[in-house]
Amino acid sequence: MPELPDVTIYVEALRARVVERRLVEARLYSPFVLRTFEPQLRSLEGLEVERVERLGKRIVIGFQGDLYLVIHLMIAGRLLWKEEAAPNRQGGKIALACFVFESGALTLTEAGSKRRAGVHVLRGTDALAHHDPGGLDVFTADSVAFREALQAENRTLKRALSNPRRFDGIGNAYSDEILHEARLSPLRLSRSLSEDEVVRLHEACRHVLATWVKRLRTEFGARFPGSGQITAFRPDFAVHGKFGLPCPRCGVKVQRIRYAENETNYCPRCQNEDRILADRSLSRLLKDDWPRTVEEMGGG
């Protein structure tokens, strides 16, 4: 799922292309992508875009008349931009919708068979506020506010950081990177952290997110991200998506915990005192043969 750095890049690229431009036509290729019925999607046609903003992991395009188009990409949703509107009105296998502006065409795509990405048309700031998860902005929050959000519930750090109602824009990928930067286990309970560890985690959130926003701005420049360029698996990530590869800090092989459709990646040495965290599927299968330390795993 695109997270704060990725959505920020989308927002900035869109802002440069559609603000003060009119929406000429809205095309739906999949009727299920539109999650609202009033106001109608066509009511946006002919209106000028006033602003483009990020709302958590959502993209908000604000139009004249206090109308908003909210795009939630979910896991596999992505955006493509063409300077000229594509003549194909049928879209394509992965196209869900196309928004034709005076300056070009924005296409919402989604890979895979599951249709989770969604589009909402809203009227008024009150309606828009209902789509705000309310997560804490780690850049503007002080250490006290960060600690309160983190320890409001006694959850694992992985779950706490990726909860959109607790923290703004952090998901599966960047929570792995943040916890590696902070040298904390993803399964540590939030209320078990010392004051120094809370501060370290807060600083890691700021550092990792700011670093990746800067890197992506440098990578894309004035270009709109192309197909496959907004991804949760980046070559320069430290641990996320790097199972079996060496940790860039200590060289020990990165490990993972798999659950449902997600996995958590971590370094057992940097983050968990050389201990291997139990993977539900494999540890149940192997039982006593499941390695519990880096040494039992073969030295990393």
- Over the stretch 132-189, which tens digit does the pLDDT of each residue have? 999 999 999 999 999 999 999 999 999 999 999 999 999 999 999 999 999 999 999 9
CATH topology of 4-129 equal to that of 143-289?
Answer: no
User: Residue 196 above 60 pLDDT?
Assistant: yes
Q: Which residue, among 296, 295, 278, has the nearest Cα to 287 in the 3D structure?
A: 278
Confidence of residue 270 (pLDDT cuts 50, 70, 90): very high
Full strand arrangement of the beta sheet holding 95-101: 23-28, 95-101, 104-110, 77-82
User: Residue 118 above 90 pLDDT?
Assistant: yes
3 within 8 A of 214, measured Cβ to Cβ: no
Tell me if residue 185 falls in helix, strand or coil: coil
* Residues in contact with 52: Cβ distance below 8 Å, sequence separation at least 6, in sequence order: 11, 14, 15, 18, 19, 59, 60, 61, 62
Average pLDDT value for the chain: 91
Q: Which residue, among 299, 300, 294, has the nearest Cα to 252 in the 3D structure?
A: 300
Whole-prediction pTM value? 0.91
Q: Which residue, among 17, 157, 170, has the nearest Cα to 83 in the 3D structure?
A: 17
| pLDDT tens, position by position, 70-104 | 999 999 999 999 987 655 565 678 999 999 999 99
- pLDDT confidence of residue 108: 96
CATH class label, 4-129:
alpha beta
Query: How far is the CA of 203 from the CAs of 132, 151, 156, 198, 236, in angstroms?
Result: 24, 16, 18, 9, 20
- pLDDT confidence of residue 294: 42
Q: Find how far residue 111's CA is from the centre of its chain.
A: 16
**Rounded distance between C-alpha atoms, residue 175 and residue 159, angstroms:** 9
Domain ranges of the chain: 4-129, 143-289
**Rounded distance between C-alpha atoms, residue 215 and residue 225, angstroms:** 13
Alpha helices in 221-272 (DSSP H): 268-272
10 within 8 A of 59, measured Cβ to Cβ: yes
Q: Which residue, among 299, 262, 265, 259, has the nearest Cα to 283 in the 3D structure?
A: 259
CA atoms within 13 Å, Cβ hemisphere of 294 = 19
User: Residue 34 above 60 pLDDT?
Assistant: yes
Q: What is the helix (H) or strand (E) element at residue 5, kind and residue range?
A: helix 4-18
CATH code for 143-289?
Answer: 1.10.8.50
Amino acid at 90: Q
**Rounded distance between C-alpha atoms, residue 102 and residue 24, angstroms:** 6
